[in-house]
Amino acid sequence: MSLTFSETVTGSVTDGVLVVTIDNPPVNAASADMRQGLHAAIDHAAAAPEIAGVVITGAGKIFVGGADIREFGKPMAEPLLPQLVNHIEASGKPVVAAINGAALGGGLEIALGCHHRIASPAAKLGLPEVKLGIVPGAGGTQRLPRLAGVVTAAEMVATGRMVGAEEARRIDVIDAIADSDLIAQAVAAARERAGQPPRRTGECVIASVDQEAFKKMANKVLARARGQDAPEEALRLVRSAAERSIAEGMVDERATFIRLRDSDQAKALRHVFFAERAAAKVDGLDGVEPRPIRTIGIVGLGLMGSGIAVAALDGGYAVIGADMTAEAAQKGRERIVALLDRNVASGRLDADGREKRLARLTTSGRLEDLADADLVIEAVFDDLAVKTELFQRLEGIVRADAVLGTNTSYLDPDVLAAATKRPERVVGLHFFSPANIMRLVEVVNCAKTAPDVLATALAVAKKLGKLPVVSGVTEGFIGNSIFSAYRREAEFLLEDGALPEEIDAAMEAYGFAMGPFAVFDLAGLEIAWARRKRQAATRDPDERYVEIADRLCEAGRFGQKAGRGWYAYPDGKRTVDPEVTALIEAARTKKSIVARRIEAEEIVARLLGAMAAEGDRLLAAKIAQRASDIDLVLINGYGFPAHKGGPMFAAGRV
Ligand code: 3H9
């Protein structure tokens, strides 16, 4: 018999156990209707003598994706999620969570309120609330440490890290992994526990806390959290779970949750969350099927190419890495192996995973060996003649339907495409270095790119675990266009009176991991110098042009690798260099600029303003589809602090 508890919650009785299914697409979020339905289901079981226990599961591939983020900021209907979780935990009849897929945030909190947890092998569990600028608000900070211990729980809550079923079992967050039929196993578990006092997580005693381990973990987490409030609050709440009752802990947790939920950081991070989902929706691609890609060819196995190769191997593809000579290909192979080894050393990859990846890799010094590739990505020297010749040679090698991707940063991919016989198969795939780590890929929709080629590039980037953002063609695409505007304004600030260390300090206090001048030094100054020299002949003489960077390069100050740039690096440590200060002062004098003191607030406002103005230009020119795409590019490729939402959000453009 089928029972209906609400629009999103139904039940059926199997073997005397009420199996409750949450069906609230797309992610079974804990909406008001879902909470009411689940509450009613528990009441129904309590009142029905023929029911021995309850199983809670989710329809489809997800258990519960968390609280409904769209309800944040609106008045909440009862039962609130913490009330619901307490109600489940208080049930006199055993309640078993059959975790069929992702149990995240409020979803895991519901599972923690159950008396027994069984997960399917593919399930993912976690409390990712800090990624939304909040802490869990339905007991997660109090119940997770009662199962996993304070240190493990605090690390999970403060970083938002998800764990798979294996790890969840190891740290006692779940009781078992289902072999085959999850629901049958959960029903059997409920029957077995019928009539016994339920094991309530909230009544478990917390094991004593290893203070040293906690401190070490907390320092690491806080160093990465720079300026964000939620991770610190998460650490505090989990730690104090060991020192007070769950009721007291939950009052504090709830108050903290509400305070953070209404904070600017949380608003910014919610914007980022929805921006990521919006970026996947690209005009003109509805119903367009990507081409099937199994084998990815990569030409040029330098730093960028080998990073892309590792990303492609991680994504499950067969990879053919090619370079101009057998020797260069061998060097590339060694680079790829070294990157995999590094992942093994850091625990991100196991030995088996390394072997499986290497079995899918071939390297060659002959382009002809790319014949089987479904997609070839070139990552050779950023020179139009070199890339054009390469694409023309590839045309004689790969199948007619193979896709050609270019990783150029500054060249015009339309010119490159026009030099080929089938420009419709050319697309830009602009990775960021190190390509196996950085999440952003600018997918460049060239003038002639076919819709299914664009869809293919997006699908591949997604499978590599990347965040693809579509850009139109303009010099530097979205990211480097904005970054150029940022650089230009930073140099104006120098002339006007600020020093590199003051500008960097202001931006670092704002939330950037590194200020602009530290970044220039890290990236090296010579490429931008070469570009400025190329542009010199066509530059408008009335345009404001700051020569200080040219003076630095002329003095051989090419950045951190050279040991000197905007800063000096004695023993590798970034240090203010009076020689640079003198160069800046000389440049001001030459232009008769009287330096004035510029406060951090003005520095931040001017740099953000310059970025947003360039963003406006990109939107008007339809280079970017939407303001939030620009925010994602800056956050994921250029270190813009996510908790400020990106330059367009910060400037009120969203
Ligand atoms: C929380 O739980 C607080 C509690 O502690 C306290 C409460 C008191 N709500 O990602 P996808 C939408 S905070 C509303 O492409 P996937 C999403 O916008 C929450 N909507 O799917 C998209 O909509 P559209 C903690 C949500 O299969 C659609 O679902 N939980 C929510 O690749 C598909 O999303 C999290 O932070 C939501 N919670 O991945 C988990 N989640 O189609 C956040 C998704 O209109 N969610 N949507 O663009 C995720 O990580 C992924 O969505 C998930 C599925 C892994 C679940």
Render 520-583 in DSSP notation, one character per residue.
HHHH-SHHHHHHHHHHGGGS-TTS----HHHHHHHTT--BGGGTBSSSB-GGG--B--HHHHHH
Please give the C-alpha separations between residue 247 and each of 230, 236, 241, 277, 551, in angstroms, as whole numbers: 21, 16, 10, 36, 64
Residues 6+ apart with CB under 8 A from 418: 448
**597-629 burial: b if 16+ Cβ within 10 Å, else e:** ebeeeebbebbbebbbebbbebbeeebbbbbbb
- In this structure, are residues 425 and 402 in contact, taking their beta carbons and an 8 Å threshold? yes
d(CA 425, CA 406): 11
Question: How much is the pLDDT for 242?
Answer: 93
Nearest protein CA to atom 24 of ligand 1, as residue: 277
Q: Nearest C-alpha to atom 46 of ligand 1 is from which residue?
A: 65
Check pLDDT > 90 for residue 531. Answer: no
Share the mean pLDDT of the chain. 96
Which band of pLDDT confidence, cut at 50, 70 and 90, is reported for residue 382?
A: confident
Q: Tell me, what's the pLDDT at 226?
A: 84
Q: State both tokens at 86.
A: 């307490």
Given the residues 50, 78, 109, 389, select the one marked as catalytic. Answer: 109
| 17-22 and 9-14 strand pairing | antiparallel
If pLDDT is split at 50, 70 and 90, which confidence band does 654 have?
confident
Give 72 Cα–ligand 1 centroid separation in angstroms.
13
Whether the pTM exceeds 0.85: the reply is: yes
Yes or no: say if 426 and 446 are a contact pair by the CB < 8 Å rule.
yes
Q: How far is the CA of 273 from the centre of ligand 1 (A)?
A: 9
Stretch 625-644: mean pLDDT: 97
Query: What's the average model confidence in pLDDT over 539-564?
Result: 95
203 carries an active-site annotation: no
Asked if residue 318 has pLDDT above 90, the reply is yes
Cβ partners under 8 Å of residue 649, min gap 6 = 268, 271, 627, 628, 631
Q: Going by DSSP bridges, is the β-strand pair 53-58/62-64 parallel, antiparallel, or unpaired?
A: unpaired
Rounded mean pLDDT, 425-443: 97
> Cα separation of 238 and 253, whole Å?
9
Please tell me the distance between residue 81's alpha carbon and the centre of ligand 1 in angstroms: 16
Per-residue model confidence as pLDDT tens digits over 73-111: 788 899 999 999 999 999 999 999 999 999 999 999 999
Percent of the chain with pLDDT over 90: 94
Nearest atom in ligand 1 to 61's CA = 27
Confidence of residue 310 (pLDDT cuts 50, 70, 90): very high
Look at residue 461 in the predicted model and tell me its pLDDT: 98
Strand-pairing partners, residue 163, are 125
Nearest CA among 625, 304, 633 for reference residue 485:
633
Measured CA to CA, the distance from residue 24 to residue 386 in angstroms comes to 53
Residue 610 identity (one-letter amino acid): A
Query: How many CB atoms sit inside 10 A of residue 368's CB?
Result: 10
Instruction: Band the pLDDT of 71: cuts 50, 70, 90.
Output: confident
Atom of ligand 1 nearest to the CA of 82: 8
Query: Ligand 1 center to residue 598 CA distance, Å?
Result: 43
pLDDT at 363 over 80: yes
Give the pLDDT score at 420.
96
Instruction: Tell me the CA–centroid distance for residue 27 and ligand 1, in Å.
Output: 6
Going by CA atoms, what residue is nearest to atom 43 of ligand 1? Answer: 65
Annotated catalytic, 50?
Answer: no
User: Per-residue pLDDT for 1 more than 80?
Assistant: no
Place of tokens 């159950």: 114
Q: Are strands 403-406 and 375-378 parallel, antiparallel or unpaired?
A: parallel
Ligand 1: residue whose CA is nearest its atom 29 = 26
Is pLDDT at 559 greater than 90 in this prediction?
A: yes
Q: Which member of 129, 155, 276, 495 is catalytic?
A: 129
SS3 431: strand
Give the residue-averaged pLDDT of 161-178. 97
Contact between residue 609 and residue 451 where contact means Cβ atoms under 8 Å apart: no
Pocket of ligand 1 (CB under 6 A): 26-27, 29, 62, 65-70, 81, 102, 104-106, 109, 128-129, 132, 136-138, 140, 277
